[in-house]
Structure 1
């Protein structure tokens, strides 16, 4: 009987453990149910994202078509670039022609430079003449000063003669 009592006690203790475990099972079951709802919600989000991915895939596809279309525009721009290269060739030819004109103008400038040099020599020669004339003017100035003393002498003579005339008149 002792064994039965021991077994009965064990069963009773296990029953209590099962009862406690049952409440844990209930809690876990509730958690599983809540998680299931979260999984269902998440599944909906995945489904919506899948639709977004499909939509995005369509946009990628449409962009691919746009890229192909843009590729044609790039090809047309390449043709335009080739046309511009031809224009650059024309401009280059004009630049070469203009360069020749600049070269000819440079020669004209050199010839003009010689004329400037010759004129400079003429100016220097003229400067020598100006110096000579200045000396002549200086010498003439001295002559004028000498003439001025003669004028003073003559004026005195005229005055003396005037006095003589006045005396003679009285």
Structure 2
């Protein structure tokens, strides 16, 4: 079979999450993380965005209203990754979440990016991150990308706000 390559400028358009309580999800994604509510279908679904796009995240209760969080040890979405434009923007959301005592599940420097990890109120994993400039990405001795997971220096991250 001939090898097919996806077009270079293809992007992930949006993610659609099943949630137990639509308002609770909106409180997290809009009120805490700062997404904008673009459209709502009563108490069943909502579409939220950064920057006025029709939607980056869809939230719905069609099959999940009032249901418990999915078990972590089952097949499914690992996390939704939300890309911030700058390191300073990542520092701002880190500070905001910390001020609201929102629990984190981890922090990492991946060489190509720096990331904060947490779960939304329905237990869906969320990664908040920024990409380092491509010129700083680590390469191995053969010139191949060498991603890793190391501790993120949170004090250094917060220094972006000074």
TM-score by length of structure 1 reads 0.11
Structure (1 or 2) with the greater helix fraction: 1
Q: Which has the larger radius of gyration?
A: 1
Structure (1 or 2) with the greater strand fraction: 2
